[in-house]
Chain A
Amino acid sequence: MDTTIQSLWRLKPMTAPQAKLGDLVSNTKIGVEIEIENMRTPPPIPGWNLTHDGSLRNGGVEYVFSSPIGGSAACTRLSRLEASLNEITTKTFGPRTSVHIHVDVRDLTWEQACKMIVLYAMVEPYLFSICGQERDENIYSLSLYRGQDQVSRLNELIQQGPSALSSSKWAKYSSINLLAMPTFGSLEFRGHKGTCSKDALVNWINHLLSLKMYVLDESKDIGDLPQILSQNGHHALLAEIFGQKLVVANLKSANRVRSLIYEGVWVAEDLLYHTNFREADKKLIEGLGTDGSNQMNKLRNKLCVD
């Protein structure tokens, strides 16, 4: 199926990308939402809309990109936000605040979008190590590898296709929100802790953009990645996806999840091989037939003695 996410949900066509990348690794358009507390008189900032969020306290507000934009123009907005908010000494980024990044996937097919989700799952422990390890159990952005129920739901979604994507099948309160796809044509990443630091945001956004770049690179295959991990270690795996430069800049985060990264790979393998699992289950049961009386008799004899 070659239909793009844009045509699947009849979304607005993509406009021309920004010519200059600025500090970002690609010119894919992004949307940014930043939550802040203790903002009594939030200033207007060009390129950002100001909204209020019920989950925040004490004058909590949310700055949201006024429109999706990429490359250097997005960086300019991040710089403006940082400069404006640095002047507000009362602001706080408590545990309730977070940063949500929308990555435009309108140009991807459903299969490519699924690959990007699987790739995200594979490196999720590393990504949480960057964006705030303590947030992997956050009730507003529960990670796939800690929640696990979302992995079962993802398997069903991948099996059933895009028409099955609805709020009954997916919860917004996951670290990755698929429900932004039919609405905005984006994948929303909700894991990052609250911050207005441009450097931190650019670092995070570049990781997310790298996921999409990997999926678009036809010379690369997600299926090879588990083997890269087992043969060459976690640095090699992460460098293959994010590039050496980004991984070296986040070496501490990478080393913190040396063991945990395997959990991400197991989740990804669950998604990559979901058809194999189903087939194996079906074949095994069919092969054994339906006469379970022997085992049931054993269980009755052993467990139901008065």
Chain B
Amino acid sequence: MTHPAFGDMTVRDILATYSDTYIQLQTRDDDGFYSAKLLGVDDDNGLYFEKPNGDRIIVGMQDSDVKYKLDWPTLGMVNIRDHVVLVERIAQRQWKKGLRMSSLRTCAFDTSILMHLYETHRRGRPDYFYQSDLIKLYTPEYTDFHEALEVVEAGEKIARAISPLFCVSNRWQVSKPLLYYKSNAIGVVTGTSVELAPEVSHIIPLLKRIVPNGYHNSIVMATKANDSTAG
């Protein structure tokens, strides 16, 4: 008999499926759900978890006061330190269902800049997405559109995510910051506005969903004459 959240899974099933992966749980003493890594099961059928701060807790497998969320978070762009990582999930043969690094494909904005800063200034580490960053996927914080334009252009951040699909990022050997949709640059940042490439005009409605009303005129559609505002 296990917790209802695990359905008809046996202890062995739970270990095979979720050990060394992140899931979310909430105990009686917690204000809300938090993510933790399932480490194993003790002799008394207690589930061992490691919290993000390194603390370890044991919860009874049948404890009905504990709630679990086994779903994955919404993936996409996520702010990590001074840069952004685009996180996607890989379909592959596996038994593990929980969130873990080997099920993810990641792309950093901008890898070359991160490498350069590390090599020339020993800043940070060349790895751009650590195991400990996984939990940020559950509670991603997105930067306000204009703040992102400002801090990236000013060099205060390498990149900032403004939604799971968009980020503003500097790019190696490119003179101005760019607006990205997933892994493709779609516009150039100039001051407080973005000039979108005409090839991707279909993206405007999607972009306007995340840019506050009143700021839509800061999204400009580039034409040959460079004179039209995105409608």
Interface set of A (CB-CB < 8 Å, partner B): 94-95, 137, 139, 142, 146-152, 171-174, 226, 230, 266, 269-270, 273, 276-281, 283-285, 287-292, 294-304
Is B216 among interface residues, defined by CB-CB distance under 8 A? no
CB distance from A271 to the nearest CB of B (A): 12
Of all chain A residues, the one with the shortest Cβ separation from B113 is A299
The answer to whether B121 touches A292 (Cβ under 8 A) is no
The answer to whether A285 touches B171 (Cβ under 8 A) is yes
The answer to whether A147 touches B185 (Cβ under 8 A) is no
CB distance from B67 to the nearest CB of A (A): 17
A sample of 18 more A-B contacts (CB under 8 A), given A288-B175, A300-B155, is A94-B8, A147-B88, A147-B89, A148-B75, A171-B91, A277-B200, A280-B186, A281-B184, A284-B178, A289-B175, A290-B174, A291-B173, A291-B175, A292-B175, A295-B176, A296-B116, A300-B117, A300-B121
Of all chain A residues, the one with the shortest Cβ separation from B201 is A276
A–B pairs, 26, beta carbons within 8 Å: A139-B95, A142-B91, A147-B88, A147-B89, A149-B91, A152-B183, A171-B92, A173-B93, A173-B94, A230-B205, A276-B202, A277-B184, A277-B200, A281-B185, A284-B178, A285-B171, A285-B185, A295-B155, A295-B174, A296-B170, A300-B120, A300-B121, A301-B155, A302-B154, A303-B123, A304-B121
CB distance from A159 to the nearest CB of B (A): 13
Is B54 among interface residues, defined by CB-CB distance under 8 A? no
The answer to whether B199 touches A149 (Cβ under 8 A) is no
User: Which residues from A are CB-within-8-Å of B184?
Assistant: 277-278, 280-281
Size range of the interface on B?
Answer: 35 or more
The answer to whether A290 touches B165 (Cβ under 8 A) is no
User: Which residues from B are CB-within-8-Å of A290?
Assistant: 173-174
Is B127 among interface residues, defined by CB-CB distance under 8 A? no
A-B pairs with lowest CB-CB distance, top 4: A298-B155, A280-B197, A149-B88, A148-B88
- Bound CA–CA A174/B93 (angstroms): 10
Of all chain A residues, the one with the shortest Cβ separation from B112 is A292
Is B71 among interface residues, defined by CB-CB distance under 8 A? yes
Is B125 among interface residues, defined by CB-CB distance under 8 A? no
Contact of B92 among A173, A280, A289, A300 (CB under 8 A): A173
- Bound CA–CA A297/B117 (angstroms): 11
CB distance from B78 to the nearest CB of A (A): 13
Of all chain A residues, the one with the shortest Cβ separation from B105 is A149
- Bound CA–CA A269/B154 (angstroms): 33
User: Which residues from A are CB-within-8-Å of B116?
Assistant: 296
Contact of B172 among A151, A270, A292 (CB under 8 A): A292
- Bound CA–CA A298/B187 (angstroms): 21
CB distance from A64 to the nearest CB of B (A): 20
Interface set of B (CB-CB < 8 Å, partner A): 7-8, 71-72, 75-76, 82, 88-97, 105, 113, 116-117, 120-121, 123, 154-156, 158, 165, 170-178, 181-188, 197, 199-200, 202-203, 205-206
The answer to whether B176 touches A142 (Cβ under 8 A) is no
User: Which residues from A are CB-within-8-Å of B156?
Assistant: 302-303
The answer to whether A273 touches B200 (Cβ under 8 A) is yes
Contact of A288 among B71, B176, B183, B206 (CB under 8 A): B176
CB distance from B75 to the nearest CB of A (A): 6
- Bound CA–CA A269/B205 (angstroms): 12
- Bound CA–CA A123/B56 (angstroms): 43
Contact of A95 among B7, B171, B173 (CB under 8 A): B7
The answer to whether B91 touches A299 (Cβ under 8 A) is no
User: Which residues from A are CB-within-8-Å of B154?
Assistant: 298, 302
- Bound CA–CA A276/B39 (angstroms): 45
Contact of B123 among A137, A230, A304 (CB under 8 A): A304
The answer to whether B170 touches A295 (Cβ under 8 A) is yes
Identify the interface centre among A95, A146, A276, A301: most chain B CB within 10 Å of its CB.
Answer: A276
- Bound CA–CA A299/B120 (angstroms): 12
